[in-house]
Amino acid sequence: MMNEFEVPHYISHKLPEIENDLKELQLTGDIHESIQVLTDFTKKMVLTNDLKKAGKCLELAEKIFLKGNKHVKQAVKNVFVLSFTCFRLASNPRKWSRLLSHMPSTLYGLYLKQLKEQMMLQ
């Protein structure tokens, strides 16, 4: 199981371009902030049309979710997956469709579950 303190290091290893944003978080273990850094970088890749890199971020988030303890899993659901609606709104339908083609099934399932829960609350 991956814990909160391991996530920033794991992300930094896989995405060295955001290593500086994660350095302090390796000491604090703030899992929500660590996942937020990954989320912000993913959104930036979507907005700049780097869907290959965005896909890499999606795959990384899925691996973190699958390997993570309960706190890590909850952070991925509450921060990363919850941001998919923002990704969809920031994208035109074609770009969103292309992004969905890169989305791992685990994350897509979590996203659909969140959408269903939101619809039930309305």
**pTM confidence score:** 0.92
Tokens for 7, please give them. 């996530």
pLDDT tens-digit profile of 33-92?
A: 999 999 999 999 998 999 899 999 999 999 999 999 999 999 999 999 999 988 888 888
Provide the CB-side half-sphere exposure for 17 (13 A, CA).
9
Contact (CB, 8 A) for 9 and 25:
no
Distance CA 31, CA 17 (A): 19
pLDDT tens-digit profile of 96-112?
A: 898 889 899 999 999 99
Contacts of 11 (CB under 8 A, 6+ apart): 18, 22, 34, 37, 38, 60, 64
Tokens for 114, please give them. 């969140």
Tokens for 117, please give them. 């829960």
In the chain, where are the structural domains located?
Answer: 6-121
Distance CA 112, CA 30 (A): 26
